[in-house]
Amino acid sequence: MRASLQTRGTSVAAGLCVLALAGCATTQMKSEWRDPNVVGAVLQGQQVLVICQSRDHSLRRICEDQWTMRLQRAGVAGMQSYAIPQFPPDGAADGDAIRSAAERVGAFAVASVQLAPDDLAMVNPAPQVGIGFAGGNGGYRTGGFSAGGVGISFPVGWPTAAQGMVCSASMVEAASGAVLWSGSATAPPSGAQAGQIAELAQLMIDALRRAGLF
């Protein structure tokens, strides 16, 4: 009886873990805010300076490219901050530098985006190769060699790590510094960071569209 209860409890716990992992398996908004005093599609047809911040310079550029491309598809002219001479290479500029850069390119607003690794991470084990020993038939099956009833398996290569990603963004009016919209989102663990950034950028652009800013 006790063993049955233990088995049932283990099954319930496993089910809860599966549900928890499923909830983390999609790129999703975590929070969002819009200034209720902003009326109309204020970004439509405007120029937006895109500034992404990341410890990885290549990810910063990928982020700015993704945001710029998706803004342009929505009818908003975007410009990457990395294309501005003497702008900080990591995107970490102070308020005065950002206002100056926005004024130089004629930007009505600034999209300020921060990327960071999520606490959620997964490790994918290395592929397994099995070798079997026994009389009679031998054959290669699902990544291993089977020759009977006794088998040995061992990993080939190294395990790979998959890291989640967190994105927070705000759309700020360049002249006044007023925040028009802000939001945060997460992407599930993946080894393809460029794909995570693309999904997060599209999610944020869709949220801005639903908020009526363009």
Q: By 3-state DSSP, what share of the chain in percent is helix, strand and coil, each rounded to 5?
A: 35, 35, 30
Region(s) of the chain under CATH 3.40.50.10610? 29-117+161-210
User: Does the pLDDT value for residue 204 go beyond 80?
Assistant: yes
- Grouping H, G, I as helix, E, B as strand and the rest as coil, residue 187 is strand
Among 11, 59, 95, 38, smallest CA distance to 211 is for 38
For the domain spanning 29-117+161-210, the CATH number is 3.40.50.10610
Tell me the CA distances in angstroms from 24 to 12, 30, 33, one per residue in order: 19, 11, 22
Q: For residues 35 and 63, what is the distance between their CA atoms, to the nearest angstrom?
A: 25
- String of DSSP letters for 94-141: -HHHHHHHHHHHT-SEEEEEEEEEEEEEEEEPPPEEEEEE-SS--EEE
Query: What pLDDT is stored for residue 55 in this prediction?
Result: 87
Q: For residues 114 and 204, what is the distance between their CA atoms, to the nearest angstrom?
A: 12
**What digits encode the pLDDT tens for the residues 47-92?**
999 999 998 999 999 999 999 999 999 999 999 999 998 888 777 8
**What digits encode the pLDDT tens for the residues 135-179?**
555 544 444 444 455 555 545 544 456 889 999 999 999 999 999
The edge-to-edge listing of strands for the beta sheet with 128-133 is 139-141, 144-146, 128-133, 150-155
User: Does the pLDDT value for residue 183 go beyond 90?
Assistant: yes
Query: What pLDDT is stored for residue 71 in this prediction?
Result: 97
Query: What pLDDT is stored for residue 21 in this prediction?
Result: 45
Q: For residues 78 and 203, what is the distance between their CA atoms, to the nearest angstrom?
A: 17
Tokens representing residue 86 in the block: 């003497």
User: Does the pLDDT value for residue 7 go beyond 90?
Assistant: no
Q: For residues 82 and 204, what is the distance between their CA atoms, to the nearest angstrom?
A: 20
* Model pTM above 0.75: no
- Average pLDDT over the chain, rounded to an integer: 80
**What digits encode the pLDDT tens for the residues 32-49?**
999 999 989 999 999 999
Asked if residues 109 and 173 have their Cβ atoms less than 8 Å apart, the reply is yes
Among 90, 91, 63, 89, smallest CA distance to 78 is for 63
Confidence of residue 196 (pLDDT cuts 50, 70, 90): very high
